[in-house]
Amino acid sequence: MRLRLVLGDQLSLSLSSLRDAKPGEDVILLAEVREEATYVRHHKKKIAFLFSAMRHFAEALRSLGHRVVYVNYDSAENTGSLFGEVLRLMEAETVSELIVTKPGEYRLLDEMESWQERLGMPVELREDDRFLCSSEGFQEWASGRKSLRLEYFYREMRRDHAILMESDKPLGGQWNYDHDNRKKAPKELDVPAPFSVEPDRVTEEVLALVTDQFPEHFGDLQPFSLAVTREDALKTLDQFVAERLGKFGDYQDAMVQGEPWMFHSHISFYLNCGLLLPLECVRAAERAYFDGTAPLNSVEGFIRQIVGWREFIRGIYWLSMPDYAGLNYFEASRNLPEFYWTGETQMNCLHQCIVETKANAYAHHIQRLMVIGNFSLLAGLAPKQVSEWYLAVYADAYEWAELPNVNGMILFADGGLFASKPYAASGAYINRMSNYCEHCSYSHATKTGEKACPFNYLYWNFLHQNEEKLRGNPRVSMIYRSWDKMSDSKKNEIRSDSRRFLAQLDGTQA
Ligand SMILES: Cc1cc2nc3c(=O)[nH]c(=O)nc-3n(C[C@H](O)[C@H](O)[C@H](O)COP(=O)(O)OP(=O)(O)OC[C@H]3O[C@@H](n4cnc5c(N)ncnc54)[C@H](O)[C@@H]3O)c2cc1C
Ligand code: SF4
């Protein structure tokens, strides 16, 4: 009998390890194990989402006639590790071979590569071909290039998969409509409610389990309304295309107090665990353009996130691991402030984004990048701690996606492997793209002093402190000219405000 192990983020019927599975001949194992659920303290909603999606997937496999062994988290026999569960099944049954699709995380792949020897049985690790670009394909693309830039990779993906193309030309004449996608939200904006699903009996059982077993983990478990089946994940995609895609482009970078979901798709949860596949999401958006229900700036912008950023980020991960996880270009070492777990800070933008993260296990990209990420960079937070936080708090977070976003996009800890400059910004950016500043006790327009927005002085302080590493960067050198023109007294105020603020931060108050 062949044993096929399916991991929690491999919930696709088309998975490579299941492709040739034969009902009656093979057994499929899914296990909720302590090692995976607790190696960081994942958000309660993330654990509930994955356990419920796994249980529903097991049912879907059974309904196709497969024999499934499903190990519940609180089963008395559960050994707590994937290896332990494979071994336990091998001891109970005659297993001739183990087949697994390669895991998305380096840590687990590294471990699984030793399983054949440890189990004394053939172990076949199959490629995960649910991505549009294989890790080898990305390596080939990257080899010999002086710099790795999303834009060139993205164009190749569009050509290779004939997405938004007119023969060999991009539809509409341009590859990228990003310049149209930076509108601030108007005061009156009707944001559709996100797609939500009532928990069924299986989800209710999982919610009770998570309440019981993970009380110390971050985040609010209730209300829980995520999709946990492929059918409902597809409905989430359909609702996005019908109700949100049209404005996705315009308000892609906008942030509005009390509107955590905006016009984003909320499909990362489902894409990353396999309930949705990237190309079907891309084709659904493309169809909306051809049907005339969504404009090109929205459709292209959305498609770029999936065939561009998502694939690119994964490529960077496999290209650069394991060293990538230890990079720290700016030698940043500040501990993560306590308010990252509570949201208790006077800085309204951070307060909103963290409180929403706690409630939903979700924040949209600009909240992650330009509020929490930007602050993490300017405050000099230690990359490993930041990375662990992002991995724990979002229900779509897996190391392959989270780590390059943290070490590459927000912290520039990789020294610019794929970003041409750090995404550092003052309060002016946040004020331009949101209404958070209207509700803040700090003033975004004030540059120094007690009332000044901390982003304003921390921005210059960061540039000053890292001058040696950044002045030579052609995209930053202009900014240093403004620093050079600043009076000494202004520079001193910036430095002393930053010292005061960061000292308070170390005492966990901001
Ligand atoms: C510091 C940081 C950490 C992040 N960690 C994760 C993570 O662990 N998992 C994750 O899926 N995304 C991560 N992202 C990317 C992005 O923020 C989320 O994919 C997005 O917010 C998910 O919401 P959505 O589905 O509504 O996305 P939309 O805005 O609707 O975008 C559509 C899809 O594009 C993909 N996508 C967009 N941007 C990225 C990106 N930079 N990297 C990878 N995929 C992208 C996602 O699959 C997303 O579902 C991170 C971004 C930052 C700045
Ligand atoms: S004033 Fe500064 S801290 Fe307050 S919301 Fe605006 S950017 Fe954030």
Instruction: Give the model's pLDDT for residue 507.
Output: 87
Averaged over 417-443, what is the pLDDT? 97
Ligand nearest the Cα of residue 254 is 1
Distance 369 CA to ligand 2 centre (A): 15
Which atom of ligand 1 is nearest to 267's Cα?
25
Which residue type, as a one-letter code, is found at position 423? Y
- Positive or negative torsion for Cα 353, 356, 357, 361: negative
The fold adopted by the segment(s) 339-507 is DNA Cyclobutane Dipyrimidine Photolyase, subunit A; domain 3 (1.10.579)
The two three-digit tokens of residue 459, written as one number? 């921005």
Please indicate whether residue 101, judged by its CB atom, sits closer than 6 Å to ligand 2: no
Place of tokens 């336990």: 88
Instruction: Give the model's pLDDT for residue 182.
Output: 86
Averaged over 299-327, what is the pLDDT? 98
Q: How far apart are alpha carbons 457 and 274 in whole angstroms?
A: 43
- Contact between residue 33 and residue 81 where contact means Cβ atoms under 8 Å apart: yes
Quick check: helix, strand or coil at residue 114? coil
Residue 184 gets which letter from DSSP?
Answer: P
pLDDT over 60 (residue 508): no
Region at 173 (left for phi over 0; alpha for psi -120 to 50; beta for the rest): left
Using pLDDT thresholds of 50, 70 and 90, give the confidence band for residue 317: very high
pLDDT over 90 (residue 509): no
Distance 369 CA to ligand 1 centre (A): 10
Please indicate whether residue 348, judged by its CB atom, sits closer than 6 Å to ligand 2: yes
Instruction: Give the model's pLDDT for residue 268.
Output: 98
Average pLDDT, the chain: 97
Which atom of ligand 2 is nearest to 440's Cα?
4
- Contact between residue 26 and residue 65 where contact means Cβ atoms under 8 Å apart: no
CA dist 450 to 458, 500, 505, Å? 13, 9, 14
Instruction: Give the model's pLDDT for residue 309.
Output: 98
Q: How far apart are alpha carbons 417 and 378 in whole angstroms?
A: 19
Please indicate whether residue 378, judged by its CB atom, sits closer than 6 Å to ligand 2: no
Distance 389 CA to ligand 2 centre (A): 22
Which atom of ligand 2 is nearest to 439's Cα?
5
- Contact between residue 417 and residue 316 where contact means Cβ atoms under 8 Å apart: yes
Mode of pairing for the β-strands spanning 2-5 and 123-126: unpaired
Which atom of ligand 1 is nearest to 306's Cα?
34
Q: How far apart are alpha carbons 495 and 448 in whole angstroms?
A: 10
- Domain spanning 135-320, CATH class: mainly alpha
- Contact between residue 128 and residue 101 where contact means Cβ atoms under 8 Å apart: yes
pLDDT over 60 (residue 406): yes
**What is the enclosing helix (H) or strand (E) of 117?**
helix 115-119
Instruction: Give the model's pLDDT for residue 244.
Output: 97
CATH architecture for residues 2-126: 3-Layer(aba) Sandwich (3.40)
**What is the enclosing helix (H) or strand (E) of 2?**
strand 2-5
Using pLDDT thresholds of 50, 70 and 90, give the confidence band for residue 273: very high
221-272 pLDDT tens trace: 999 999 999 999 999 999 999 999 999 999 999 999 999 999 999 999 999 9
pTM: 0.97
Establish whether domains 2-126 and 135-320 are of one fold.
no
Which atom of ligand 1 is nearest to 398's Cα?
8
Pocket of ligand 1 (CB under 6 A): 264-268, 271-272, 302, 305-306, 309-310, 313, 364-365, 368-369, 373, 390, 394, 396-398, 401-402, 405-406, 409-410
- Contact between residue 352 and residue 436 where contact means Cβ atoms under 8 Å apart: yes
Ligand nearest the Cα of residue 433 is 2
The larger pLDDT score, comparing residue 181 to residue 324, is at: 324
Please indicate whether residue 395, judged by its CB atom, sits closer than 6 Å to ligand 2: no
pLDDT over 70 (residue 367): yes
Quick check: helix, strand or coil at residue 13? coil
pLDDT over 60 (residue 510): no
Q: How far apart are alpha carbons 289 and 39 in whole angstroms?
A: 42
3-state secondary structure 299-335: HHHHHHHHHHHHHHHHHHHHHHCCHHHHCCCCCCCEC
Instruction: Give the model's pLDDT for residue 480.
Output: 97
Q: In angstroms, how far is the first alpha carbon of the chain from the final one?
A: 59
Using pLDDT thresholds of 50, 70 and 90, give the confidence band for residue 146: confident
Distance 268 CA to ligand 1 centre (A): 6
Closest CA to 316 of 110, 147, 180: 147
- Contact between residue 95 and residue 4 where contact means Cβ atoms under 8 Å apart: no
pLDDT over 90 (residue 181): no
Q: 464: buried, middle or exposed (CB in 10 Å: 19+, 13-18, 0-12)?
A: middle
**How many CA within 13 A on the CB side of residue 217?**
28
Closest CA to 298 of 247, 332, 258, 256: 247
Contact partners, residue 473, CB within 8 Å, separation at least 6: 416, 420, 421
21-46 pLDDT tens trace: 999 899 999 999 999 999 999 999 99
Which atom of ligand 2 is nearest to 430's Cα?
7
Per domain, the residue ranges of the chain are 2-126, 135-320, 339-507
